Amino acid sequence: MVIPTLADMQAARARIAPHIHVTPVLSSRMLNELSGAELFFKCENFQKGGAFKARGASNAVFGLSDEQAARGVATHSSGNHGTCLSYAARQRRVPCTVVMPKTAPQAKKDAVRGYGGSVVECEPSISSREAAFAQLVAETGAEFVHPYNDPRVIAGQATCSAELIEQVEGLDAVIAPIGGGGMVSGACLTLSSLAPRIKIYAAEPEQANDACRSFKAGQIIADDSPNTVADGLKVPLKELTWHFVRNHVADILTASEQEIVDAMKLTWKRLKIVMEPSSAVPLATILKNPRIFAGKRVGVIVTGGNVDLDKLPWN
Amino acid sequence: MVIPTLADMQAARARIAPHIHVTPVLSSRMLNELSGAELFFKCENFQKGGAFKARGASNAVFGLSDEQAARGVATHSSGNHGTCLSYAARQRRVPCTVVMPKTAPQAKKDAVRGYGGSVVECEPSISSREAAFAQLVAETGAEFVHPYNDPRVIAGQATCSAELIEQVEGLDAVIAPIGGGGMVSGACLTLSSLAPRIKIYAAEPEQANDACRSFKAGQIIADDSPNTVADGLKVPLKELTWHFVRNHVADILTASEQEIVDAMKLTWKRLKIVMEPSSAVPLATILKNPRIFAGKRVGVIVTGGNVDLDKLPWN
């Protein structure tokens, strides 16, 4: 297992700078009053591809040798990682293929193709996905870029927290949603070195609380097929992300489906930004845990803004 | 008629700086490709009170003498001006009263009260509104701050364009929605002095095209009760705003209801921001007039983000 380092984050930052946005930080007096904390929302929903995943994907793609890159990149993802890997591959003008279950939403397939990526459909089972992926790699020699269990990806995601602590002084805590743990691991990588006094929290849906249970049990627990409106957070921890979570996270907090939807709507209304349900989980947990956050300066990672406007969860 | 000057804008800028946000400018490669132009969205939806109106309202409130201010401010508005005047009055800790038809949406009344303003309800007719307003001013001596036909308000709105040309170099055009014409007049005030090569366009719903018809006729034409999804744009020009529009606007472009809703949804999807229907009218007119805008660098004023999330116009 190769653990990415602060030097890897710094190299990633230089490497991806031409391909990503330095995203703005927004705040709302009303949300501060409601939470009793000072909240600084790091808006990765404004990132290229609509999600922080453009950071890790760009770092992986632009770190390849010319020879590797020419064979293209590949992944399996029905979410933002597939879209953002396609974005990064187009930036380097190399092929990208994303294996997706045929049951994935049309909008997700369109998003990959919109950036010039190819979609290979498989049956909605792990065995079918693995078979389709193995065949693809055998045929093309494409480089596999895992959505989170990959040191290049984690080093890329880690650049987000480096920006945040330059944009906001004196943070007491940073909180991000946790699914596979790529963003949280990136925060751990950067903050444990550059700002070790900042506490790192992860936020998770109650209905997909495998990371929380892993944290308490001291070992990875993976759920079979959790169901939550926060569809970016259904995947389990893997060994690399578990390394960071276990060593550097202060706590993993959870919120109910209703609390997540309420926090999402509240953010749209008050911050005037479009965010995914997954991105609302941190605010939901902040509002139900004033004991932890009151009086604190808290960085809140808004992980993405790719949402189906025709199927909003409060309608 | 007192025409506000560049010096008034500059005084306004210093006066309101502690009370408003310098709002960010966002862009989208996809929207640039679609329009053939380079679009720079000035996000006044992130402004205090959720709309650019906080600028003019703050300038009016903080320009009062202590004696005037102590008697409070008043206006009639069922839209963002009432909310933002309440915001500015609270910042100065003086009373604010907003006359509104009793048929106005509860959310608008709540927004005024949320900033500590009082709502006086009247019947939904001009005569009832004027009677209620006259009584209020007679009783309190409150200072009337018109939503747009007021030199203090226009000088305040003019600060938005001053920020924009510092944030984006080499603009060829600026476009803003037009209702009463406060924001457009502010753009005229600033740009005609500081950047006279920038063309100023106004964008209006076809179904409330009184400004467009006024512009062509060479005199103010007011509609009786226009109906459009862009509910911030139903009000007519008045003498002060007509002065600026007549002298400095290059053209007034219109868009249909469907084009407005499509542009609104497109912006939410691509820029990941929550904007009002009124704010989508400029993009709608840009997309239907590539002959005017293709190849140009265009500043687009996103005027506000106060929208009922339970009644989105595409649902």
Within a domain: B97: yes
CA proximity to B274, closest of B301, B305, B300: B305
Half-sphere exposure of A165 (CA within 13 A, CB side): 23
ipTM: 0.92
Calculate mean pLDDT across residues B289-297: 97
Do A132 and A212 sit in the same domain of this protein? no
Strand partners, B40: B299
- What residues in B contact A314, CB-CB < 8 Å? 309-310
Do A218 and A288 sit in the same domain of this protein? yes
Q: Measured between alpha carbons, how far is A31 from A315 in angstroms, rounded to an integer?
A: 23
- Measured between CB atoms, which of B43, B273, B310 is closest to A274? B273
Pick the last residue of a domain from A144, A166, A195. A144
Mean pLDDT of chain B: 96
Amino acid at B67: E
Do A79 and A227 sit in the same domain of this protein? no
Instruction: Tell me, yes or no, if the pTM score tops 0.80.
Output: yes
Within a domain: B109: yes
pLDDT score of A186? 98
CATH code of the domain covering residue A65: 3.40.50.1100
Phi and psi of B269, rounded to 5°?
-70, -40
- What residues in A contact B268, CB-CB < 8 Å? 274, 309
Using the Cβ of B274 and the Cβ atoms of chain A, whether some distance falls under 8 Å is answered with: yes
Do B179 and B270 sit in the same domain of this protein? yes
Judged by average pLDDT, the poorest of A152-156, B98-102, B198-202 is B98-102
Q: Measured between alpha carbons, how far is A161 from A44 in angstroms, rounded to an integer?
A: 11
Pick the last residue of a domain from B144, B172, B189. B144
Calculate mean pLDDT across residues A116-132: 91
Within a domain: A115: yes
By CA distance, what is A44's nearest residue in B?
B272
Task: Kindly state the tokens that stand for B295.
Answer: 């190849």
- What residues in B contact A310, CB-CB < 8 Å? 314-315
Judged by average pLDDT, the poorest of A176-190, B103-117, B133-147, B273-287 is B103-117
Do B168 and B283 sit in the same domain of this protein? yes
pLDDT score of A224? 77
Using the Cβ of B273 and the Cβ atoms of chain A, whether some distance falls under 8 Å is answered with: yes
Please list, in sequence order, all residues whose beta carbon lies within 8 angstroms of the beta carbon of residue B158, skipping any fewer than 6 positions away.
B4, B8, B9, B12, B185, B186, B187, B189, B190
Q: What confidence category does residue B216 fall into, taking pLDDT thresholds of 50, 70 and 90?
A: very high
Taking only the tens place, the pLDDT of each residue in B142-168 is 999 999 999 999 999 999 999 999 999
Within a domain: B122: yes
Q: How far is B268 from chain A (nearest CA, A)?
A: 7
pLDDT score of A54? 98
pLDDT score of B225? 80
Q: Could you count the other beta carbons within 10 Å of the beta carbon of residue A288?
A: 16
Share of chain A above pLDDT 90, in %: 92
Calculate mean pLDDT across residues B75-97: 95
Check B26 against A45: CB less than 8 A apart: no
Do A41 and A19 sit in the same domain of this protein? yes
Measured over the CA atoms of residue A80, residue A83, residue A88 and residue A91, the dihedral's sign is: negative
Check B268 against A50: CB less than 8 A apart: no
Do A24 and A171 sit in the same domain of this protein? yes
Using the Cβ of B314 and the Cβ atoms of chain A, whether some distance falls under 8 Å is answered with: yes
Calculate mean pLDDT across residues B65-72: 97
Mutate to test the interface with B, among A31, A90, A272 (most CBs of B within 10 A): A272
Label each residue of B281-312 as H, E or C.
HHHHHHHHCHHHHCCCEEEEEECECCCCCCCC
Mutate to test the interface with A, among B19, B46, B167, B272 (most CBs of A within 10 A): B272
Using the Cβ of A45 and the Cβ atoms of chain B, whether some distance falls under 8 Å is answered with: yes
CA proximity to B151, closest of B240, B58, B53, B62: B240
Calculate mean pLDDT across residues B300-315: 94
Calculate mean pLDDT across residues B244-248: 98
State how many domains chain B has: 2
Do A63 and A208 sit in the same domain of this protein? no
pLDDT score of B48? 96
Question: A62-66 — which CB contacts under 8 Å span 24+ positions?
Answer: A62/A15, A62/A16, A62/A19, A62/A88, A62/A91, A62/A92, A63/A12, A63/A15, A63/A152, A64/A92, A64/A143
Do A115 and A195 sit in the same domain of this protein? no
Check A274 against B275: CB less than 8 A apart: no
Amino acid at A169: E
Calculate mean pLDDT across residues A241-268: 98
- What residues in B contact A272, CB-CB < 8 Å? 43, 45-46, 50, 273-275, 305
CB-CB contact of A81 with A88 (8 Å): no
Mean pLDDT of chain A: 96
Do B129 and B159 sit in the same domain of this protein? no
CB-CB contact of B51 with B179 (8 Å): no
User: In a 3-state reduction of DSSP, which class is residue B142?
Assistant: coil
Within a domain: B231: yes
By CA distance, what is A264's nearest residue in B?
B309
Check B272 against A312: CB less than 8 A apart: no
CA proximity to B161, closest of B2, B31, B279, B13: B13
Using the Cβ of B50 and the Cβ atoms of chain A, whether some distance falls under 8 Å is answered with: yes
By CA distance, what is A307's nearest residue in B?
B269
Within a domain: A204: yes
What interhelical angle do A182-194 and A6-16 show, nearest 10? 110
Task: Kindly state the tokens that stand for A202.
Answer: 């992860």
Supply the DSSP symbol for A63.
T
Our measurement of the distance from residue A173's CA atom to the centroid of its chain's CA atoms, rounded to an integer in Å, reads 18
Q: Could you count the other beta carbons within 10 Å of the beta carbon of residue A196?
A: 9
Taking only the tens place, the pLDDT of each residue in B93-117 is 999 999 998 988 888 899 999 999 9
B 72-131 residues with CB below 8 A of A?
none
CB-CB contact of B305 with B51 (8 Å): yes
Using the Cβ of A309 and the Cβ atoms of chain B, whether some distance falls under 8 Å is answered with: yes
Strand order in the sheet with A38-43: A25-26, A38-43, A297-302, A173-177, A199-205, A251-255
Pick the last residue of a domain from B144, B172, B207. B144
- What residues in A contact B20, CB-CB < 8 Å? none
The answer, yes or no, to whether residue B29 has pLDDT greater than 90, is: yes
pLDDT score of A51? 97
Taking only the tens place, the pLDDT of each residue in A277-298 is 999 999 999 999 999 999 999 9
Within a domain: B308: no
Distances (CA, A) of A88 to A43, B14, B156: 19, 43, 42
Do A250 and A124 sit in the same domain of this protein? no
Check B309 against A272: CB less than 8 A apart: no
- What residues in B contact A265, CB-CB < 8 Å? 309
- What residues in B contact A315, CB-CB < 8 Å? 310, 315
pLDDT score of A155? 98
Calculate mean pLDDT across residues A98-104: 91
Within a domain: B310: no
pLDDT score of B152? 98
Do A213 and A228 sit in the same domain of this protein? yes
* Residue B127 structural domain: 54-144
Q: What is the total residue count of chain A?
A: 315
pLDDT score of A149? 97
Strand partners, B26: B41
Distances (CA, A) of B171 to A194, B157, B200, B284, B300: 40, 19, 11, 19, 11
Q: Could you count the other beta carbons within 10 Å of the beta carbon of residue B217?
A: 9
Q: Measured between alpha carbons, how far is B185 from A10 in angstroms, rounded to an integer?
A: 47
Q: Measured between alpha carbons, how far is A204 from A207 in angstroms, rounded to an integer?
A: 8
Check B309 against A309: CB less than 8 A apart: no
Calculate mean pLDDT across residues B67-72: 96
